[in-house]
Chain A
Amino acid sequence: MIKVVHYINQFYGGIGGEEKADVKPEVREGVVGPGMALKGALGSEAEIVATIICGDSYFNENMEEATKEILEMIKKYEPDLFIAGPAFNAGRYGVACGTICKAVKDNLNIPVVTGMYSENPGVDMFKKDIYIIETANAATGMRTAIPAMAKLALKLAKKEEIGPPAVEGYIPRGVRKNIFREERGSKRAVDMLIAKLKGEPFETEYPMPDFDKVAPNPAVKDLKNAKIALVTSGGIVPKGNPDRIEASSASKYGKYDIEGVIDLTKETYETAHGGYDPVYANEDPDRVLPVDVLRELEQEGVIGKLHRYYYSTVGNGTSVANAKKFASTFAKELVADGVQAVILTST
């Protein structure tokens, strides 16, 4: 019997939503939440002996310590296999799944599998280290994610040969493998070129890695005379959320005039973000968008001026394409308005 330990977050563990995201790791015997479906998919060859549950914020705020604690919990069960998630497009959850999977693989030397949506930040961080089954961006994809994860996990546990990403459903790890093909390279290349010219689908044999790095800009020389702008993905908006920015998967951003505003209060501002416990931000929005201290620093002459407008969106399952589009649009305005530097805050 293959012994499995499963990792899930506080939400799937039934402990609670964002208000419980700070719970410490705990272990429960047997299956919890999505573990039920996973158990079914694993069949009679494997048994989920324990489930570890940890709050997403606790994990991400205490990464080293939490990883250590969780590793100890897992060790006790001497598992043959470790499965985490699936995390879909939940960023903190994905980072947690990836971090623990890698730690388990490195320390316990057993196979690990997790599942995430391709834009989850955990993917870029860990795709080279571990097998990540590609899932839909929301929990509605559970029914397809679980069987794929179980299938790959069993194969790994039984040391069977693992096929290429497209066949097994995992996110490409950048591993190159030498294989024999029927046709020689020159013919395959020409076939691909013809398909491309015809606009037909084709699959490259050597995908180029995506190196989209932007080099740092020179430092601000004269802070005392600089105009500084605030931007946030923490969803701070005027009370009532006039632009109706969505609590998750935001399709827009807001631009708000803070001329004469010296302090964000709970009467005037709030957060629209649905991906963290909003209590603290609603009580004092300066905890996310520090307008109060920037006004002080403006008064004291430390900075030249706080830009009249701030830009805000909700970074919660928001697609990379949207975030890119928002920022490239308002960055042009920032440039046109003579802003010399930006402080961007994230929750």
Chain B
Amino acid sequence: MVKEIERAGIPVVHVCTVVPISLTVGANRIVPAVAIPHPLGNPALGKEDEKALRKQLVLKALKALETEVQEQTVFDK
């Protein structure tokens, strides 16, 4: 799906846990997520901390969308 959205001309960031799969399916902007059953959350944290974590990840995804890339790039910093 990432590839078809990119093909349509819209920049897309893939937020996912298993980065090698994302690379294989051809995503160009990749943000590693927390865990498979809760990519943008962590049930071990309190509600506020969990939301802060999610916000941080979404901001990282937005940053990736604002970054020019020439090839597949994993934004893991």
Residues of A within 8 A of B (CB): 18, 21, 57, 60-61, 63, 91-92, 95, 121, 124-125, 212-221, 223, 228, 231, 233-234, 276-281, 283-284, 286-290, 292-294, 296-297, 302-303, 313, 315, 323-324, 326-328, 331-332, 334-335, 339-347
Contact = CB atoms under 8 A, between A and B. Distances in A.
B38 A281 contact: yes
B62 A302 contact: yes
Contacts of A292: 51, 54
Nearest to B55: A293
Nearest to B72: A216
Contact of A60 (B1, B36, B57, B70): B36
B76 interface: no
A288 to B, nearest CB: 6
B10 to A, nearest CB: 5
A60 B42 CA distance: 17
B15 A331 contact: no
Interface string B1-30: 111111111111111111011101111110
A286 B41 contact: yes
Contact of A303 (B9, B38, B62): B62
B6 A216 contact: yes
Contacts of A234: 39
A220 B65 contact: yes
A256 to B, nearest CB: 16
Contact of B5 (A218, A289, A315, A331): A331
B74 interface: no
B54 A293 contact: yes
A60 B41 CA distance: 17
Given A125-B20, A220-B11, A344-B15, A214 B6 contact: yes
Given A92-B18, A323-B1, A327-B4, A216 B13 contact: no
Contacts of A216: 6, 11, 28-29, 69-73
Contact of B21 (A121, A212, A281, A323): A121
Contact of B37 (A289, A297, A339, A347): A347
Interface residues of B, number: 54
Given A217-B10, A231-B1, A346-B39, 4 more contacts: A61-B35, A223-B65, A334-B10, A344-B27
A212 B7 CA distance: 11
22 contacts: A21-B37, A61-B35, A61-B36, A92-B18, A92-B36, A95-B21, A121-B24, A121-B25, A125-B24, A214-B3, A216-B28, A219-B65, A228-B62, A233-B1, A286-B40, A287-B39, A293-B54, A297-B58, A341-B65, A344-B14, A345-B40, A347-B17
Shortest 10 CB-CB contacts between residues of A and residues of B: A287-B41, A327-B4, A331-B8, A216-B28, A327-B1, A346-B16, A280-B38, A217-B11, A342-B12, A287-B38
A124 B25 CA distance: 9
A185 B69 CA distance: 44
Nearest to A253: B1
A328 B7 contact: yes
Interface in B44-59: 50-51, 54-55, 57-59
Contacts of B22: 346
Contacts of B50: 287
Nearest to A60: B18
A124 B21 CA distance: 9
Contacts of A323: 1, 4
Nearest to B69: A216
Contacts of B41: 280, 284, 286-288
B3 to A, nearest CB: 5
A186 to B, nearest CB: 38
B5 A327 contact: yes
A63 to B, nearest CB: 8
A342 B1 CA distance: 11
Nearest to B71: A216
